[in-house]
Structure 1
Amino acid sequence: MSAIVWTAVGSLAAWLWLLLGQGFFWRTDVRLPPAEEPADGDWPAVCVVVPARDEAAVLPRSLPTLLAQDYPGRAEVVLVDDGSRDGTGELARELAGRTGGLPLTVDAPGEPPAGWTGKLWAVRHGIGLARARAPEYLLLTDADIAHAPDSLRRLVAAARTGGFDLVSQMARLRVASPWERLVVPAFVYFFAQLYPFRRIGRRGTRTAAAAGGCVLLRTEAAERARVPEAIRHAVIDDVALARAVKGAGGHIWLGLAERVDSVRPYPRLHDLWRMVSRSAYAQLRHNPLTLLGTVAGLALVYLVPPAALLAGVVAGSAAAALAGGLAWLVMAGTYVPMLRYYGQPLWLAPLLPFTALLYLLMTVDSAVRHYRGRGAAWKGRTYARPDAVPDEG
């Protein structure tokens, strides 16, 4: 039993470090910073860029919320139809004609050239159209994101007050089906564990991340960071964007949203599995050694505690049972704030090891798909790993 005891102790030590030494990632109180509106009412111009590919199913619940923004300054929306086959562009024009609000431009850039992901090619086209309007800020938001009427106003005020070049909010994802309740809050929890929000907002730290569904970006900062050209092949484009801006000297911020929501449903495990597995191996830079380390780390941190508790009880080892039980207790305790944020029952907290096992299998499946030539596939496109992409001349 000594090996089990030491493994359980190692897991407990890992959880104590995560609890206290990983930027308090488990807390959910990092929300949009306090902001002051311009005293003279001089609001900067903003252009909202929405890349959209086959989004007709969600557009009626998202686009009208952008067009209805209560923004005192000049603002307009550019929707870039990225080769949709379901009438996304036509539907966007119809919704704008029906609901009114901010001016809407719908355009299509055509298929992306080699070395570009479809979304970033669409973003490039949208930013190009926006620059003709000379906005001070760009709001990059996905087609499945619904914004409260004051969302843009609050984002701009927070950016100006805090001196941020990038302000991003992690949209509140839909949690309705049983699988969504089990998997979605854990998705945000794991993301915060990798990229502690408190560290992202500090100057001088290397931690950088954003949530692609809602990114307010100063136009000058985008130009300085060569966005999106510098990240044209990134599958996890939001993190790459934040790194580029911070690497160019920009001040960035990321937190949880209160009034920005995703309307995209993931009712089945298959839907959630595909969402995670399409980019999980890209997150590991397609490195098999990193994959092995990640699997081992997930097993030690999330699977060992319940296994050690069970083994200790069966074999009569109080030390193994105690270490495993305490590690599991700390794990569940750190998950409680995220469950509360999503309004979910707290009895889901002890099930986090099972959810982590699902994510482990999704990550392995992502690697398998990559080596079979089906990795990073999304809406009919499959992207090469970055080192297989030729540089621009």
Structure 2
Amino acid sequence: MFWLLFILSIFWFIILLDFIRGFRKITSIENVLPERSSEVISVILAAKDEEASIQQTIESLVNQKQVELEIIAVNDRSNDDTGTILQKLSNKYNQMNCIHIESLPEGWLGKTHALWQGAKITSGNYLLFTGADIHFSPDIISKAITYMKKEKADHLTAAPNLEAQSVPLKGLISFFLFGFGYLKRPWTANNTKNKGGMGIGAFQLMTRECYQSVGGHYSIRLRPDDDLALGMRVKKSGYNQRLVTALKSLSVEWYPSLAAALRGFEKNAFAGLNYSILRALTAMAGVIISQVLPFLFLFSSFPKVQIISAVNVILLFYLYALTTKYLTTYSRWIIVGLPFFILLFIYMLGRALILTWVRGGIMWRGSHYSLKELKQNFKDTEED
């Protein structure tokens, strides 16, 4: 056991060095001095049952400074007052256009289909894909387009402040970001020599030429992780990509409660593991071995094992603290809950995988998507 923990400590130390170097390569959008842009930027958002948030999202877009916006809001088969609210806002604001989708064609996810339809009627040379529950500071888009042009980027994606009400939910979100960090290494988006791509659904700004060249949302029509999949296709195609943080300028309540987070993770768990049972089991075993065992063996009767376990635990806490510092606005005290959040994540992952397997697919916003078609689409998009 000592040698296993020793190897783990080397692994976490290497990850720590990567984190320190990586986070330093991610620019904060708050540091950018915005310049006026006369080019039309087409903002496309899909809304399904978003009556509680859609108005403030639209109004925060309408109030953007130093940019010319065209807002395309897509009402995707909503069962509440989302469509009515959007239509009223469209009548009120000249720069806004609203379209309503009544049915979902076979072979599509609702969100990807809605964004694809919205993109078809845009006129701008720049397209911004976002969500219906995002709040924008008045200068976020002008800062983004300024930075994008300065960097001569084709695609810019921004990490928002993920608001959460409870400590367990904040812990789960920050732990998810920690795992995402060492698995996906998001900072590689800023390295032109690295093929690792990044896409965050809250804010994806790209040139029209880039979007059309990678096949748009049609190419990822059955990807629940459509934002990440789009960003990866952009980078794979050789386009210049940039990732920034926007913790003060962009905010979203990712999930309103811990129960909602558990349900939401059902659609993403298998997608992140390429719909592979083997990968899923390997991932769960990996988390248990690398992150649970060090805590358990702190209570070993062998001093050498206790010491090397303590080294692992310290490294884990440090890595988790770095993630919390750079990618959230949460209190640093949240790191003391790390052991609990690890177990909560394992439960969430296991629950999502079991439900996906039992259902033969995923349930998302009232629609069922079979595992067979999801796997096939994933295979197709990876081969493109």
- TM-score, with length taken from structure 1: 0.88
Q: How much is the aligned-residue C-alpha RMSD, in angstroms?
A: 2.4
What is the CA deviation profile of residues 45-76 of structure 1, one whole-angstrom value per residue up to 9, with x for unaligned ones? 1110011111111223322111111133x311
**Corresponding residue number in structure 2 for 1:115:** 107
Aligned residues: 376
Structure 2: which amino acid aligns with 1:174? E
For 1:42 and 1:384, the matched residues in 2 are separated by 44
Change in Cα spacing, 1:366 to 1:127, as seen in structure 2 (3 Å) is same
Change in Cα spacing, 1:164 to 1:289, as seen in structure 2 (3 Å) is same
Task: Establish whether residue 46 from structure 1 lines up as the match of residue 41 from structure 2.
Answer: yes
Change in Cα spacing, 1:241 to 1:281, as seen in structure 2 (3 Å) is same
- After alignment, is 29-38 or 298-307 more displaced? 29-38
Change in Cα spacing, 1:235 to 1:265, as seen in structure 2 (3 Å) is closer
Bigger share in helix: 2
For 2:254 and 2:80, the matched residues in 1 are separated by 16
Q: Is the 8 A contact 1:366 1:375 kept in 2?
A: no
Where do 1:278-289 residues align within 5 Å? 278-289=267-278
Task: Establish whether residue 358 from structure 1 lines up as the match of residue 344 from structure 2.
Answer: yes
**Corresponding residue number in structure 1 for 2:206:** 217
- Which of the numbers 161, 167, 175 marks the counterpart of 1:178? 167
Structure 2: which amino acid aligns with 1:123? L
Could you tell me how far 1:303 is from its partner in structure 2? 0.7
Query: The residue matched to 1:18 in structure 2 has which SS?
Result: helix
**Corresponding residue number in structure 2 for 1:373:** 359
For 2:20 and 2:48, the matched residues in 1 are separated by 36
Structure 1: which amino acid aligns with 2:120? G
**Corresponding residue number in structure 2 for 1:226:** 215
**Corresponding residue number in structure 2 for 1:154:** 143
Could you tell me how far 1:338 is from its partner in structure 2? 3.4
For 2:144 and 2:262, the matched residues in 1 are separated by 32
Q: Is the 8 A contact 2:90 2:97 kept in 1?
A: no
- Which of the numbers 300, 318, 327 marks the counterpart of 2:312? 327
What is the CA deviation profile of residues 240-284 of structure 1, one whole-angstrom value per residue up to 9, with x for unaligned ones? 1011111222111123213100045523x2111112232111110
**Corresponding residue number in structure 1 for 2:375:** 387
Change in Cα spacing, 1:182 to 1:263, as seen in structure 2 (3 Å) is closer
- Which of the numbers 243, 262, 270 marks the counterpart of 2:252? 262
For 2:47 and 2:20, the matched residues in 1 are separated by 34
Task: Establish whether residue 10 from structure 1 lines up as the match of residue 7 from structure 2.
Answer: yes
Structure 1: which amino acid aligns with 2:13? L
Q: Is the 8 A contact 2:25 2:187 kept in 1?
A: no
Bigger share in strand: 2
Change in Cα spacing, 1:391 to 1:8, as seen in structure 2 (3 Å) is closer
Q: Is the 8 A contact 2:157 2:244 kept in 1?
A: yes
- TM-score, with length taken from structure 2: 0.90
For 1:24 and 1:147, the matched residues in 2 are separated by 29
- After alignment, is 145-154 or 246-255 more displaced? 246-255
Task: Establish whether residue 196 from structure 1 lines up as the match of residue 185 from structure 2.
Answer: yes
Structure 2: which amino acid aligns with 1:6? W
Q: Is the 8 A contact 1:54 1:87 kept in 2?
A: yes
Change in Cα spacing, 1:270 to 1:26, as seen in structure 2 (3 Å) is farther
For 2:22 and 2:287, the matched residues in 1 are separated by 17
Structure 1: which amino acid aligns with 2:256? Y
For 1:271 and 1:28, the matched residues in 2 are separated by 33
Q: What residue ranges of structure 1 are gaps of 5+ in the alignment?
A: none
Q: Is the 8 A contact 2:42 2:127 kept in 1?
A: yes
Could you tell me how far 1:294 is from its partner in structure 2? 0.7
Change in Cα spacing, 1:374 to 1:68, as seen in structure 2 (3 Å) is farther
Q: Is the 8 A contact 1:14 1:301 kept in 2?
A: no
Change in Cα spacing, 1:272 to 1:219, as seen in structure 2 (3 Å) is same
For 1:382 and 1:257, the matched residues in 2 are separated by 34
For 2:58 and 2:329, the matched residues in 1 are separated by 26
